Chains A and B, each alone.
Chain A
Amino acid sequence: MRDLARKLLRRPGPLLGSILLGLFVVGALFGPALAPFDPEAQNLDSILAGPSATHWLGTDENGCDLLSQFLYGCRLSGLIAALVLTISFSLGVLLGTVAGYAGGWVDEVIMRVVDVLLAFPGILLNLAVAAMVKEPGVSHLVFALCLNGWVGFARVARGQVLSAREREHVLAARCLGAGPLRIVSVHILPNILPPLVVQATFTFAAVILAEASLSFLGLGPGQAHSWGALLSQGTTFLWLTYHLALVPGVAIATVVLACNLVGDGLQDLLDPRKSTADLAPRG
C-alpha cells in the first residue's frame, strides 16, 4: 500500500487531488477553531455583503460571516462522510466477504438484498428515509446514507474474494489446516484492500454529494451549517448576489473532484483498463 501511495503521488492529477483532500481534512478537523467569527453572530451593518477584509467570503442575508459558516459546514460534511464511510466500509466488506467466501444460499440472500437496495436510483432511498423524520439529525442522516452505502463495498469485496479464494497461497493455507477466519483475515483481506480503497474514495465523494443534496432539499441536520443548506440558501438570493451560492458549490465540487482525481489515479495504477469506469455519481 505504501508503494502504491508513493506511485500515486508521483502523478500530477492524484497529487492535486490529495492536496485538496488534505485541505478538506484540515478544514474538517480544525474548521471551528479557524473560523474568524461565530457562524451565528449577526452583523446587521453588513448584510449580503461581498468579500471584504473583515469578511473574506462575504456575509449572508442576516449579516453572518460566510467563511465561518463554510468552515463549520466543512466539519459537518467531514464528520458525516467519515462516519458513513467507516460504517459502510466495515459492513460492506464483512457482508461481501461472507457472500464471496461462503457462496451458496448465503451469497444468494446477500446479493438479493444488494439488488433491492440498488433498485433505488441516486439518493432516492436516502431521501425517502430522511423524509420519514420531522427534523432529521446527524444520526438520521448517517443511518439513511449507510442504508445503501455498504452495497458498493459488498459487491467489490465479493468479487475480489471469489477470485482470491482460488489462488494458490489460499489453497496452500487451506491444505495446511487454516480455518476460514484465518484464511479470510490473513490471506484474503490484505490482498483485496487496494480495490476497496478505490471504492472508498468514490464513496467518500458520493457521501459528500448525497449529504449536500439532502441538505439542499431541506432534509439535512436542522441547525447545522451544512454546505448543501448554505447552497440552498444562496440560490434564493441569486437575483441579488451569487457569492452565497458560489462558495459552498465550489467547495462541494472541489472535494468531489479531489476524490475523483485520487480514485481515478488509484484505479489507473491498479487496473489501467478500468480507468474510465466508476466515477463518483453526482447529486
Chain B
Amino acid sequence: MLGEGLSRYLLRRVATSAIALVGVCLLVFFLIHLIPGDPVDNMLGEMAPAAERTRLRKGLHLDEPLSAQLLRFARSMGDGSLGHSFRHVDRSVMSLIAEAFPYTLWLALAAMGIALLLALPLGVASALRPGTWVDGLAMTTSLLGVSIPNMWLGPMLLVAFSIHLAWLPGPAPNDPSAPAALLLPAITLGTALMAMLSRMTRASLLTVMGEDYIRTARAKGLSSWAVVLSHGLRNALIPVITVAGLQFGALLSGAIITEKVFGRPGLGTLLMRAITTRDYPVIQGTVLFLAFLYVLVNLLVDLTYGLVDPRIRRR
C-alpha cells in the first residue's frame, strides 16, 4: 500500500529519530560535564564543605571512571528506573515522574483543547474576510498571543479572575485536576499555540480556497458554508493538526513556567524542586523523559501525517 518514496521517508524518519534519541541520552549524561570546571565545584560552589562535596561526588559516581558512569547510566535507562533520587530515599526517578506526569499531561491536553477551540474560528474568520477589520482583529490577537509571555499572562489572569472577580481558584488549588482549577493554567499555556494555529489556519485555508476543486464545488451550486466546511477546511486542517501535534511536546515542557505561576503539581514542579534541592538524578531523569516524549510524539505525528494524507501516500 505504501509507495516506495513514502516507505523510504518513514524509514529515514525513524532512523533519524533513533539517532536523535541516542544523542539526547549522551547529552543528558554529559550535562554535568558541559560547563567548564569541576562539576562538583559548579554545583555546590567552591566554598562548600568537603564532606558535602565528597557526598555529591560519590552520589553522582563522579569518582568512578567515565566508562563505568556511562554504563551505570545506560543500566538505569535499561531497567526503566532512570536512577534514584537523592532526596527521596528508596524512590526511583521514574516513580516520581510517573506520579507527577498525569498533572502535566492533563494541563497540556486542556491547553491544546483551548488552543484549537479558539484558533480554528479565528483563523477561518480571518481567511474568509482577508484584508477586512475581522482579519485585522484576528491577526492582531494572534500577534499579541504569541508575544505575551506566559510567565506574565498567568499572573495577570490571576489578578483579573481570582483576585478581582474571584470567579476562579487562585494558585495551589486543593484539587488541581478540577476543571475550574485547570482553566486559567490551560489558557496561559495554550495562548501561544492558539496564536500560532490561528495564523496557520488562515494561511492554509487561504491557499486551499484558491484551488481548482473549490471552484468546481462552487460551480456545482454548493452553499458557501458547505464549500468552506466540507471542501476547504477539511483539507486546510491537515497541516494545522500536524503542527498542533508537533507542538504537544513543547506544551509539556512549557508547562514548567505555568506550573510555577499557578503552584500546580507536575513535571515542571518536580524539575524545579529537584533544581532547588540539587537532586541531580531527578533533573537528568525529568529532562530525559521530556526530551524522549517530545521526539516520540513528533515521530508519531510525522508518521501519521504521512499515512493519513492521500496526496503523500500516492507520491
A interface, CB within 8 angstroms of B: 112-113, 115-125, 127-129, 131-135, 140, 143, 147, 205, 209, 212-213, 216-219, 228, 231-232, 234-235, 238-239, 242, 245-246, 248-250, 252-253, 256-257, 260-261, 264, 275-277, 279-283
Which B residues are CB-close (under 8 A) to A135?
Answer: 45
Tell whether A119 pairs with B291 under 8 Å between CB atoms, given A112-B23, A132-B34: yes
> A239 CA to B253 CA in the complex, in Å?
28
Residues A245 and B152 in contact, CB atoms below 8 Å apart: yes
Smallest CB–CB gap between A281 and chain B, Å?
7
For A115, give its contact among B16, B163, B253 (CB under 8 Å). Answer: B16
Tell whether A134 pairs with B146 under 8 Å between CB atoms, given A119-B24, A121-B291, A143-B35: no
Which A residues are CB-close (under 8 A) to B149?
Answer: 209, 212-213, 249, 252-253, 256, 282-283
Secondary structure type dominating chain A contacts: helix
Smallest CB–CB gap between B197 and chain A, Å?
10
- Please give me the residue from chain A that is nearest to B37 by CB atom: A133
Which B residues are CB-close (under 8 A) to A261?
Answer: 143
- Please give me the residue from chain A that is nearest to B202 by CB atom: A276
Chain B 173-207, CB within 8 Å of chain A: the 1/0 string?
Answer: 00000000000000000011001100110110000
Tell whether A140 pairs with B152 under 8 Å between CB atoms, given A112-B23, A120-B291, A276-B202: no
- Please give me the residue from chain A that is nearest to B268 by CB atom: A217
Residues B147 and A282 in contact, CB atoms below 8 Å apart: yes
For A140, give its contact among B35, B150, B260 (CB under 8 Å). Answer: B35
> A249 CA to B43 CA in the complex, in Å?
30
- Please give me the residue from chain B that is nearest to A116 by CB atom: B23
Residues B20 and A119 in contact, CB atoms below 8 Å apart: yes
Residues B156 and A133 in contact, CB atoms below 8 Å apart: no
Question: Which residues of chain B from 262 to 306 have any CB-CB distance to chain A below 8 Å in the complex?
Answer: 271-272, 275-276, 278, 280, 283-284, 287, 290-291, 294-295
Which B residues are CB-close (under 8 A) to A245?
Answer: 152, 155-156, 159
> A281 CA to B254 CA in the complex, in Å?
10
Tell whether A239 pairs with B254 under 8 Å between CB atoms, given A128-B283, A256-B147, A280-B146: no
A122-B253, A260-B143 given; name 9 further pairs at CB < 8 Å.
Answer: A120-B290, A128-B31, A129-B31, A135-B45, A205-B147, A253-B144, A256-B147, A275-B203, A282-B191
Residue B148 lies at the interface, judged by CB distance under 8 Å to chain A: yes
Secondary structure type dominating chain B contacts: helix
Smallest CB–CB gap between A239 and chain B, Å?
6
Residues A119 and B23 in contact, CB atoms below 8 Å apart: yes
For B291, give its contact among A124, A213, A219 (CB under 8 Å). Answer: A124
Residues A112 and B19 in contact, CB atoms below 8 Å apart: yes
B residues contacting the other copy or chain, number (CB 8 A):
61
Chain B 29-44, CB within 8 Å of chain A: the 1/0 string?
Answer: 0011011000100111
Smallest CB–CB gap between A275 and chain B, Å?
8
Which A residues are CB-close (under 8 A) to B111?
Answer: none
* 11 A-B pairs whose Cβ atoms sit less than 8 Å apart in the complex: A115-B16, A116-B27, A128-B283, A133-B35, A209-B149, A213-B257, A238-B159, A242-B159, A249-B155, A250-B152, A253-B147
Residue B249 lies at the interface, judged by CB distance under 8 Å to chain A: yes
> A209 CA to B254 CA in the complex, in Å?
12
> A261 CA to B150 CA in the complex, in Å?
19
Tell whether A252 pairs with B260 under 8 Å between CB atoms, given A122-B250, A132-B34: no
Which B residues are CB-close (under 8 A) to A257?
Answer: 143-144, 147
Residues A132 and B256 in contact, CB atoms below 8 Å apart: no
- Please give me the residue from chain A that is nearest to B26 by CB atom: A116
Smallest CB–CB gap between A85 and chain B, Å?
18
Which B residues are CB-close (under 8 A) to A133?
Answer: 35, 42-43
Smallest CB–CB gap between A169 and chain B, Å?
32
